[in-house]
Amino acid sequence: MLKHGGAAVASAALVVALQLGASDAYAQDDDAGVPDTPAWNANTGLVTGLGIAVLIPDEGSAGGGLEFSARYGIPVGPTVMAPGGRVGGYYLQERFIGILMPTFRVTVPLGPLAPFVQGGAGPGMLTNPSEAGLAWLVGGGLMVHFGGVLSLGAEVNLERITGTGFEVLSIGPTIVIGG
C-alpha cells in the first residue's frame, strides 16, 4: 500500500471518535423558535471534538492518528448549519499523513436523533517520500443524544488526498461525553 505512488486504499478503517468537549452553554430563547431538544442543544453553538483513529490498510501493518475538529452550529429552518475546521495527523506504514481543512456540516435534529452529512477540502500531505495534494472529506452519520450528558452514534467518511494515492474509508462508532 502507500509505497512509491501505489494505490493507497485503507478500506475498513476503524475510527473511534471519543469527542471531548461539547457544545457551548446554550441559552434557549422561547421566542427564537428553536426547539429545546437534546439534538438541537448539542448541535448549536461551538462544538469541538478529539478523535482517535485506527487505520487498517489492505496490506501491511496498521497505523493510527488523531483528529481535532471544531464547528459552530447555526439554526437555519429545520436544520443546523455548521461551518468549521478539521486537523488530522496519522502514521501509517512509516509515513506521516497530515490534513488541514475547512468543513461544513448539515444536521437535521429530530428529537434525540441527529442525522448529518458533512464535507470539507483543504491541503493534505504525506512524508517518506514527500507528496501533497488537495485533501477532501465526504461523509455522514446518525447521533442519538441523551439529554446533554452522553451521545452515541455511527458515522462513515471517505477521505482522500488527490495526487498521492492516499484514501481512507472510516466506519465507526462515535461517543460524545457532555453532548
Letter for the amino acid at 20? L
Separation CA 47–CA 152 (nearest Å):
15
162 pLDDT tier (thresholds 50, 70, 90): very high
> What's the CA dihedral at 10, 86, 47, 22 to 10 degrees?
50
Q: Which three cell numbers stand for residue 61?
A: 501493518
As a whole number, mean pLDDT of residues 134-162 equals: 94
44 pLDDT tier (thresholds 50, 70, 90): very high
End-to-end CA distance of the chain: 38
- Annotated domain spans of the chain: 29-177
pLDDT reading at 8 higher than 80: no
Q: pLDDT digits over 59-101, tens only?
A: 888 899 999 999 999 999 999 999 999 999 999 889 999 999 9
Does the domain at 29-177 match CATH 2.40.160.20? Answer given as: yes
CB atoms within 10 A of CB 65: 20
Separation CA 116–CA 52 (nearest Å):
20
